[in-house]
C-alpha cells in the first residue's frame, strides 16, 4: 500500500470528511438534548414559555451560553422566564 497513491489520499479525505460530519452531528445531538432538558426544568419552574421566550431560547447557539442560563434556574430571585432570559 502506497500512502501517497491517489486512491489512498482519496480514502483518507473521505474518512476525515466522515469523521468531521459525524462529530458535528454528535455535537448537534448533544446540544439538542441539553436544550430539551433545559426546557423541561424551566417549564417545571415557570410554566410554558411564551413565543418571545421560545425565540430567545432558540437563538442560543452555544452550549456554554445555554449552560450558564440553566444554572440560573437555581437562583430563586429569578421568578419568570423573562428574568431567566434577561441576560441571555
CA nearest neighbour of 38 among 18, 76, 10, 64: 64
What one-character DSSP code corresponds to residue 86?
T
Residue 41 has pLDDT above 90, yes or no: yes
Residue 60 has pLDDT above 70, yes or no: yes
Whether pTM exceeds 0.75: no
C-alpha cell at 8: 489512498
Mean pLDDT across 17-44? 85
| Banded pLDDT at 3 (limits 50, 70, 90) | low
Mean per-residue pLDDT over the chain, rounded: 87
Residue 88's pLDDT is 58
Amino acid at each position: 500500500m502506497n500512502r501517497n497513491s491517489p486512491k489512498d489520499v482519496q480514502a483518507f479525505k473521505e474518512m476525515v470528511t466522515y469523521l468531521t460530519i459525524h462529530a458535528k452531528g454528535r455535537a448537534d445531538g448533544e446540544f439538542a438534548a441539553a436544550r430539551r432538558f433545559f426546557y423541561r426544568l424551566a417549564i417545571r419552574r415557570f410554566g410554558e414559555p411564551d413565543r418571545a421566550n421560545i425565540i430567545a431560547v432558540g437563538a442560543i447557539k452555544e452550549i456554554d451560553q445555554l449552560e450558564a442560563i440553566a444554572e440560573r434556574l437555581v437562583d430563586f430571585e429569578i421568578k419568570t422566564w423573562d428574568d431567566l432570559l434577561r441576560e441571555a
